[in-house]
């Protein structure tokens, strides 16, 4: 039985200006179902095919306490879905010669070369093979969000394994390390780079973010827990997962709603709209264009989406394949990304990906952190309605 009684009035169903089609209608039906039942609070879904939007829908609430409805312009904390956005940003900068995947991190950040890390490359960091997923076990949110101090701490650490030899999810350190690498390489912050080099040219500068400026806070959704926190806490106390995500900084609703977390530009995470995210991946599904202004060359995108790390992840304990900041394909059951697709998912069920074989992109964002499998369900329903296959 759902908790619709707790939800109260759901927000209005919405759809954008996409032509009427079976995929749009099916998504609207599912969003009505999951928000009215209380399984979800607020949801946005967007998809593109062949350079055109084919799904644009939203439903439910952005904030339960105020009753503010979810809308197409609501900014939703999407957690590690932002890692894929960061990967796209790095690819653009690589394409322009600002840095290179094969360069040692110490080329830009000399202190990082300490403790046997002189051979760790930018590509190792992006592919989660650098051997630096760890944070202090007693780290607090305040300490994590002091990015210069956290970066300095990581610069002094020894890698936990030979760089490049294994995959281990750099849940938080991916963002800390990238923010510092980008600052050192370009002299600019990752938030400014995202706005000026990626989101701005796509026309989504206020919709694809690593942090939320004060002027955009009225558009921000509030997160709530829907069983996600309990899932994390049920993990064995000695699980490797807690090496990369110590208990004090678990990705749960309470952390997402903290003012200091919202305003810290940490590219391990993202705050975005489904429209903007699907728009980005539509470009990537076309090899960097031509759904709009060409973001980057096809060779650079191929390099970014070629498998670099394979096998059981040392932190997560599950098999997956990593590219240079993107997850490639999907070994989960049921899968979210199709074979040959690339993108990233985030805690609580948000996700986005590109399917270059069909020039298709998909984004699902939601503010109730659950383990419902809505991501795989919606991706499958849309692809089925559009007649797409994985062949």
The residues carrying an active-site annotation are 80
Using an 8 Å Cβ cutoff, are 168 and 314 in contact? Answer: yes
Q: Which helix (H) or strand (E) holds 352?
A: strand 351-355
Residue 225: exposure state from Cβ atoms within 10 A (0-12, 13-18, ≥19)? middle
Q: What is the spatial distance between Cα 284 and Cα 166, in angstroms, rounded to a whole number?
A: 27
Using an 8 Å Cβ cutoff, are 74 and 206 in contact? Answer: no
SS3 of the chain: helix, strand, coil, percent, to 5: 35, 15, 45
Give strand pairing partners of 360.
Answer: 49, 355
Q: What is the spatial distance between Cα 317 and Cα 133, in angstroms, rounded to a whole number?
A: 14
Q: What is the spatial distance between Cα 384 and Cα 380, in angstroms, rounded to a whole number?
A: 6
Q: What is the spatial distance between Cα 242 and Cα 248, in angstroms, rounded to a whole number?
A: 10
Q: Which helix (H) or strand (E) holds 83?
A: helix 81-95
């Amino acid at each position: 039985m759902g908790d619709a009684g707790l939800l109260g009035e759901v927000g209005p169903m919405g759809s954008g200006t996409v032509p009427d089609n079976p995929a749009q209608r099916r998504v609207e039906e599912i969003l009505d179902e999951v928000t009215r039942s209380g399984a979800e609070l607020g949801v946005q879904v967007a998809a593109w095919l062949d350079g055109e939007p084919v799904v644009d829908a939203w439903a439910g609430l952005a904030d339960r306490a105020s009753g503010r409805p979810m809308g197409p312009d609501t900014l939703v904390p999407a957690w590690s879905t932002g890692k894929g956005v960061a990967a796209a940003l790095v690819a653009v900068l690589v394409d322009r010669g600002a840095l290179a995947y094969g360069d040692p991190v110490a080329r830009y950040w000399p202190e990082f070369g300490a403790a046997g890390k002189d051979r760790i490359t930018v590509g190792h960091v992006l592919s989660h093979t650098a051997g630096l997923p760890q944070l202090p076990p007693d780290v607090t949110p305040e300490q994590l969000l002091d990015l210069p101090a956290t970066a300095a701490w990581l610069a002094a650490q020894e890698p936990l394994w030979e760089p490049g030899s294994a995959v281990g999810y750099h849940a938080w350190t991916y963002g800390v390390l990238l923010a510092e690498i980008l600052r050192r390489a370009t002299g600019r912050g990752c938030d400014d780079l995202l706005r000026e080099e990626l989101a701005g040219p796509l026309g989504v500068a206020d919709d694809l973010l690593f942090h939320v400026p004060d002027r955009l806070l009225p558009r921000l959704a509030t997160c709530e827990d829907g069983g996600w926190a309990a899932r994390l806490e049920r993990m064995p106390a000695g699980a490797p997962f807690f090496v990369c995500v110590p208990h004090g900084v678990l990705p749960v609703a309470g952390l997402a709603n903290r003012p200091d977390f919202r305003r810290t530009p940490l590219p391990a995470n993202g705050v975005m709209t489904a429209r903007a995210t699907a728009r980005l991946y539509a470009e990537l599904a076309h090899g960097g264009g031509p759904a709009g202004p060409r973001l980057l060359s096809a060779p650079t995108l191929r390099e970014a989406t070629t498998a670099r790390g394979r096998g059981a992840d040392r932190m997560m304990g599950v098999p997956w394949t990593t590219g240079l900041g993107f997850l490639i394909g999907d070994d989960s059951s049921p899968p979210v990304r199709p074979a040959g697709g690339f993108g990233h998912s985030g805690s609580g069920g948000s996700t986005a990906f590109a399917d270059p074989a069909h020039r298709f992109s998909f984004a699902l964002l939601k503010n109730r952190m659950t383990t419902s499998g809505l991501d795989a369900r919606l991706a499958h329903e849309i692809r089925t309605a559009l007649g797409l296959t994985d062949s």
